[in-house]
Amino acid sequence: MHGDLLVYGSYGYTGKLIVERALEEGHEPTLAGRDAERVEAQATDHDLDHRVFSLEHPDVIERAVGEFDAVLNCAGPFSKTARPLYSACLDAGTDYLDITGEIDVLEAIAGRQDEADAQDVTLLPAVGFDVVPTDCLALHLAEQVESPTHLTLAIDGLSTYSPGTLKSIIEGLGRPGAVRERGRIETVPAAYETRQLDFGEGPKTAVTIPWGDVSTAYRTTGIENVQTYASVPEYAAKVMRKTRPLTPIWGFGPVQSMMKAIVDKVVSGPSEKERAKHTIRIWGEVRDESGEREVARLQTPDGYDLTAQTAVEATRRVLADEVESGFQTPGSAFGADFVTEFDGVEREDVATGPTPTTESTEPWL
């Protein structure tokens, strides 16, 4: 890499994969986090430099990140870690990247666009899975239609989770769903809409979930109406709808703390063999006011393996000054074909023409 990189949260599940990938490609990042023992052990194992600092004191953070050309934040949940780091990066003139998929975090970072432009700093969040493949697919589809007005993205095959991912999901249990309508993010109930979608193996039930693309896809494509789905068993969709009144309970502080403590005790993340057997399928659709549409699909390796690849490559390009300053999404920074450059990723265009009247069980805008 042409420049100095600090990886914060390097000893977490995904952080370790990213560091290993960086080393395989001949890079030597500096490792960082708040846990001295874990950072020091990892740095010793890989013969790398390291820093230890928490995210409690802005002056300390700014001094730490100011030593580097870029920071890659791998420490989730990003609702807790992103703001201290990207704020310090803006003050220090250091480029910032992360692997978040959290809507609120992405919206907050996008809101610092003017500061990033003024400071000549690149703010490039969401350089892992889920946002890289879905953002690239969204841009690919948007480029096929002259004036697209609606975008739908859906993911099938989510079955492996790291501790950090599960903690982010737990935080999301206490919040309702989200869609973008007419350019604005709107709150909706859990499992707001249900569709039968073909990810390549026949129709599957999918329900709306608040993926990060509700934030990023709008900025990448300019499409004002965005929904994101995940496939679930039919019974799960019914349970999600019936348990909507419990949403405030899941968000209660002691309940959140208890569930996160359980994650720390029992979840370690998928093994290398489990990841190697795992594939994820993504379905995307754009349509215009007349109902004309384009549909495409992606197949990717396990999300954690893909994250390691995309995060390292995105960071390399930022350090090589190949990305403009200001707020960027993966699609705006690298284009629609970025995700197809990685091993195991396949994209296919599968449909065009009017929207089938039988496909959606609960129509939207």
pLDDT computed for residue 326 by the predictor: 98
pLDDT computed for residue 357 by the predictor: 43
Among the listed residues 188, 194, 192, the one whose alpha carbon sits nearest the alpha carbon of residue 176: 188
3-state secondary structure of 318: helix
Cis ω for the linkage preceding 349 (within 30 of 0) = no
Mean pLDDT score of the chain: 87
| Residues 90/116, Cβ–Cβ less than 8 Å | yes
Q: What is the mean pLDDT of residues 65-74?
A: 98
In this model, does residue 250 exceed pLDDT 80?
no
Here the tokens at position 38 are: 């874990």
Domain boundaries, the chain: 5-128+304-334, 131-303+342-354
Residue range 117-139, pLDDT digits in tens: 999 999 999 999 989 999 999 99
Cβ-count burial 241-259 (b if 16+ within 10 Å, e if not)? eeeeeeeeebbeeeebeeb
Domain topology for 131-303+342-354: Dihydrodipicolinate Reductase; domain 2 (3.30.360)
In this model, does residue 267 exceed pLDDT 70?
no
Domain topology for 5-128+304-334: Rossmann fold (3.40.50)
